[in-house]
Chain A
Amino acid sequence: MLNQYETVFIATPVLSEAQIKEAVGKFKDLINSGDCELIHEEHWGLKKLAYPIQKKSTGFYHLFEFKADPAFIGKLETEYRRDERIIRFITLKLDKNAVEYSAKRRIKLSAKAQKEE
Chain B
Amino acid sequence: MTSSNSSEIRYLTPPSVEIKKKKYCRFKKNGIKYVDYKDPEFLKKFLTEQGKILPRRLTGTSLKYQRKVSQAVKRARMIALLPYVTDLLK
User: Does the CB pair A101–B36 fall under 8 Å?
Assistant: yes
Contact of A90 among B34, B79, B82, B83 (CB under 8 A): B79
The answer to whether A90 touches B80, judged by C-beta atoms less than 8 angstroms apart, is no
**A61 CB contacts on chain B under 8 angstroms:** 79
Is B10 positioned at the interface, with any CB of A under 8 Å from its CB?
A: no
Interface residues of A (CB under 8 A from B): 8, 10, 49-51, 53, 59, 61, 63, 88, 90, 92, 97-98, 100-101, 105
**Interface residues in B34-78 (C-beta closer than 8 Å to A):** 34, 36, 38, 75, 77-78
Main SS of the interface on chain B?
Answer: loop
Given contacts A100-B34, A101-B34, contact A50 B78 (CB under 8 A): no
Would you mind naming 9 contact pairs between A and B with Cβ atoms under 8 Å apart?
A10-B79, A49-B80, A51-B80, A51-B84, A88-B78, A92-B75, A100-B33, A100-B34, A101-B33
A51-B82 Cα distance, complex, nearest whole Å: 8
